[in-house]
Amino acid sequence: MSETPISGYVAPGLEAVRDAFAANFEAGEELGAGFAAWIGDQLIVDLQGGWADKGKSQIWDTETLVPVFSTTKPISALVIARLIEQAGPDITYETPVTALWPEFAAHGKGALTIAEVLSHQGGLPGFAEEIDPELWLDPPALAARLAETPPLWPPGDGSGYHPLTWGYLAGEIARRLDTQGRSLGTVLRQEITGPNEIDFWIGLPPSEHARVAEMKRPTALPELGELNEFKRAAFMTKWSSPKRGGAIWKEIEIPSANGHGTAAATARLYSVYAGTLDIGLSETTGTALTSSRSHRQDRVLPFVIDFAAGVMRNSETVYGPNRASFGHSGWGGSLGFGDPDRGLSAAYVMNRQSNILQGDPRPLRLISALYDSL
């Protein structure tokens, strides 16, 4: 038996999920991790294991928060869906972004719709020209810079994954959609996570910083395939990202990349995509959120991706066997998904990051054990 501390709960009949979770540790693939699943309002799996720090002095428990990186994106997309719902019939996913943000029209971007921007079709995966990396820590200033930046391909002509810039675009759209001018993370807290007692944050207050797990970065670069100008702008320049992990990085809102939560909280938010958590979306808005917007070989990631308005459709069955599911992965291996046919949602979080962009075997084993046991 492994000496790694493992705790938590699995519903009767799901013991194989606990075994798969323990096996990841026994194989030496984890430092600390959590895995959770909901069916409807029932938490059927809530597992914690390993250590929250590299020195292995802090046990990973139910209070441990961890950054989930791009697994944040579909959660941010829920906020925009709610704000569109509240805006009334004059604002839809087909509304041009410039109706909210006139400055965004620069360099031929004026026809881009909210849905096209949220499905990574804006041509702004990063900055081809050098910027001060500190600009990433000032979201309004970074959003303004994006508004004046020329797109790298014809706007609306298929996807090129926006790893970080997506969040600044989404954050600015959310702020302008909200009648009070609130930030996306504030709306999330006040209208979704707070009322539902969900321990997930975009913009983490200092009072919660002590709960955050220490990340162990991957030792190898991800496999991006043949490099091109889009991949270089998104990932490969000295100015393509901020310094991650410090107090400022935790506190500011980056709706594409710095959501912090537990596995149970992350999975609960993905319950919206499973159709089992009501956040006040009509069928019309929910359908518009999850409809296919671009299904093609992505320009930045080396995958064929079926993008909806901020969430991936499971056409390649990365997120369980059901192609009708919706999900997203985050840097290092985290993921979340919702299966509307089973009313099932799940999430995997960890602090030992791998270099696998999508399809990390650790959560795939857990998802396989979960479906095999249901």
Residue 200 lies in a domain: yes
The average pLDDT across 9-24 equals 98
pLDDT of residue 210: 97
Residue 104 lies in a domain: yes
Please choose, from the candidates 354, 127, 142, the residue with its C-alpha nearest in 3D space to the C-alpha of residue 232: 127
Residue 41 lies in a domain: no
Residue 40 lies in a domain: no
- Does residue 76 contact residue 255 with C-beta atoms inside 8 Å? yes
Please identify which residue in the block is written with the tokens 């997120």.
319
* pLDDT, tens only, 64-87: 999 999 999 999 999 999 999 999
Residue 357 lies in a domain: no
SS3 232: helix
Task: Label residue 222 by pLDDT band (50, 70, 90).
Answer: confident
Burial of 16 (0-12, 13-18, 19+ CB in 10 A): middle
Distance from the Cα of residue 164 to its chain's centroid: 11
pLDDT of residue 2: 44
The total of structural domains in the chain comes to 1
Residue 280 lies in a domain: yes
* pLDDT, tens only, 321-371: 999 999 999 999 999 999 999 999 999 999 999 999 999 999 999 999 999
- C-alpha 335/C-alpha 319 separation (Å) is 8
Residues 152, 158, 163, 167, CA torsion sign: positive
Does the pLDDT of residue 215 top 80, yes or no?
A: yes
- C-alpha 84/C-alpha 91 separation (Å) is 6
Please choose, from the candidates 15, 81, 35, 20, the residue with its C-alpha nearest in 3D space to the C-alpha of residue 289: 81
Does the pLDDT of residue 1 top 60, yes or no?
A: no
One-letter amino acid of 124: L
Please identify which residue in the block is written with the tokens 């159709």.
275
- C-alpha 193/C-alpha 368 separation (Å) is 28
Boundaries of domain holding 290: 66-351
CATH number for the domain spanning 172: value is: 3.40.710.10
* pLDDT, tens only, 226-270: 999 999 999 999 999 987 778 999 999 999 999 999 999 999 999
Q: Which residues contact 242 (CB under 8 A, 6 or more apart)?
A: 133, 134, 136, 137, 249
Residue 365 lies in a domain: no
- Does residue 60 contact residue 213 with C-beta atoms inside 8 Å? yes
* pLDDT, tens only, 146-201: 999 999 999 999 999 999 999 999 999 999 999 999 999 999 999 999 999 999 99
Backbone φ and ψ of 43, nearest 5° = -80, 105
- Does residue 136 contact residue 164 with C-beta atoms inside 8 Å? yes
Residue 124 lies in a domain: yes
Mean pLDDT, all residues of the chain: 96
Burial of 270 (0-12, 13-18, 19+ CB in 10 A): buried
